[in-house]
Amino acid sequence: QEQLVESGGGLVQPGGSLRLSCAASGFTLDDYAVGWFRQGPGMAREGLSCIVNNTTYYADSVKGRFTISRDNAKNTVYLQMNSLKPEDTAVYYCVAGGHWGQGTQVTVSS
């Protein structure tokens, strides 16, 4: 069964960091572009970042704070999130090969 599973979300204070993981099973992530999206309360889903081969792209809202990377040996893509702000609070999703993960909640609050 092909699926993506996100992990690494949680509660963090403003200015803190989290690293999200997107692990694939049943298919090889390296064969696809992988993207990270988020959806905050009452908000539309927002594209944040993607990695195509080794080229990375970022939305202006996260550029300089978030870093996407991949570990092909672990069939996993990461999203390192630094300098988190309350407005980063959302459910974060990864997508690849037409598959979406179930999402992981990130809450930034003091």
| pLDDT, tens digit (0-9, with 9 covering 90-100), for 47-80 | 999 999 889 999 999 999 999 999 999 999 999 9
Q: Is the dihedral of CA 106, 66, 20, 15 positive or negative?
A: negative
Q: What are phi and psi of 34, to 5 degrees?
A: -125, 130
Q: What's the gap between Cα 110 and its chain centre?
A: 22
Structure tokens at 24: 């694939």
Reduced to 3 states (helix: H, G, I; strand: E, B; else coil), residue 17 is coil
> pLDDT-based confidence at 9, cuts 50/70/90?
very high
| Phi-psi group of 109: left, alpha or beta (phi > 0 → left; psi -120 to 50 → alpha; rest → beta) | beta
Say what percent of the chain tops pLDDT 90.
95
Q: What are phi and psi of 69, to 5 degrees?
A: -150, 165
